[in-house]
Amino acid sequence: MAIAGMDLLVQSKSGTGKTLIYVLAALQKIDKSVASPQTLIIVPTRELAIQVEDTVNGLANKLHNRNAYLCVSFIGGTDVKRDRMRMARGRIIVGTPGRLLHLIQNNVFNTSAVKLLVLDEADQLYCTDSLQKDVQALVASLQPGIQIIACSATYPNALDERLAKLMHKPVLVSNSERATVLVGVRQFVYELPAQVNSMQDMMSKLKAVQKIITQVAYDQVILFASSQSRADSFRNYLQRDGIECELMSGAMKQSERLQTFQAYRNFKMRIIVSTDLMARGVDSSHANLVINLDPPNDLVTYLHRIGRAGRFGSKGIAITFISSPQQCQSFKQI
């Protein structure tokens, strides 16, 4: 349906191949005689943009005349002058909303030849007023009647109905099950005694992490914390205790984020402590253990976090720490 040019609302579990669907459709649409971008892929995070760029170019490399299919990513925290030179080479453009809109407004990105728009992790693109405003401005810059594909594991707050209004006779492609947890992910709750302050709570969780990683076989583990400061503190204390790990946080410099992200994807690290920056769309076939150091605030975030394990049909384990009656009650509601 995607290759045939139909507008699609795609909903399926994390790691089941949504990216492949729109990448194949984008490659099919390339007109080698047109020296302008022909597909626009909008994603919510910088790391996901880099990942999609690698996926597109990896598939295009199997085809003849790779340069005709070149995908280029555009994200915040990088040199805008460099973006101007790279835009001339791009036929498939992927990026975050703010940077893409900036390039359009400064006449760097000409959208007149774009015939496919992809909204990846659509629920995240519409989760805040600022992101939603940027996405709407990007959509308005495109020619009417182009193909639109929206992808997400979840469509909260009737988002699918809102997106459908942008499309022409859209088709909803969805699994019939309400739950969107991967079959291969086993879920556990790890109950810890309530602590009188946040430092004792952190020390209790660090002790539990050390116990788990010495007793549970894993290839790669992601530890999720509720904030940048807590993620940084967890990383520092784990390193102090001799556990090799890295941090992924929005507070890091972009160069450091990309270096850590590539090391994670290339299996050059086994343990990473992260905020929810790593919760969506990020792939690693080696990740098979997720630990929620701090429980998430909602079901959608929980599903995306634990979806980092058990991807590509593999098996995984998700463990959520609960250390107070209030957290226990909140988690039951999730």
Pick 97 or 284 by higher pLDDT. 97
Which pLDDT value is given to residue 327? 66
Is residue 135 predicted with pLDDT exceeding 80?
Answer: yes
How far, in Å, are 14, 186, 294 from residue 182 at the CA level?
Answer: 7, 9, 21
Which pLDDT value is given to residue 96? 95
Is there a contact between 305 and 296 (Cβ–Cβ < 8 Å)? Answer: yes
Q: Decide if domain 8-174 falls under CATH 3.90.1520.10.
A: no
Cα–Cα distance measured from residue 102 to residue 57, given in angstroms and rounded to the nearest whole number = 24
CATH architecture type of domain 185-333 = 3-Layer(aba) Sandwich (3.40)
Which pLDDT value is given to residue 185? 85
- The predicted-structure confidence for 172-208, as pLDDT tens digits, reads as follows 888 655 445 556 788 999 999 887 788 888 999 999 9
Average pLDDT for 167-174: 89
Q: How confident is the model at residue 242 (pLDDT cuts 50, 70, 90)?
A: very high
Q: Where in the sequence of the chain do the CATH 3.40.50.300 domains occur?
A: 8-174, 185-333
Q: How confident is the model at residue 150 (pLDDT cuts 50, 70, 90)?
A: very high
DSSP state of 217: -
pTM (global) more than 0.75: no
Average pLDDT for 262-268: 87
Average pLDDT of the chain to the nearest whole number: 87
Exposure of 136 by Cβ count < 10 A (0-12 exposed, 13-18 middle, 19+ buried)? Answer: middle
The strand order across the sheet containing 287-292 reads 185-191, 316-322, 287-292, 220-224, 271-274, 246-248
Q: Which of 119-128, 142-151, 185-194 tops mean pLDDT?
A: 142-151
Is residue 228 predicted with pLDDT exceeding 80?
Answer: yes
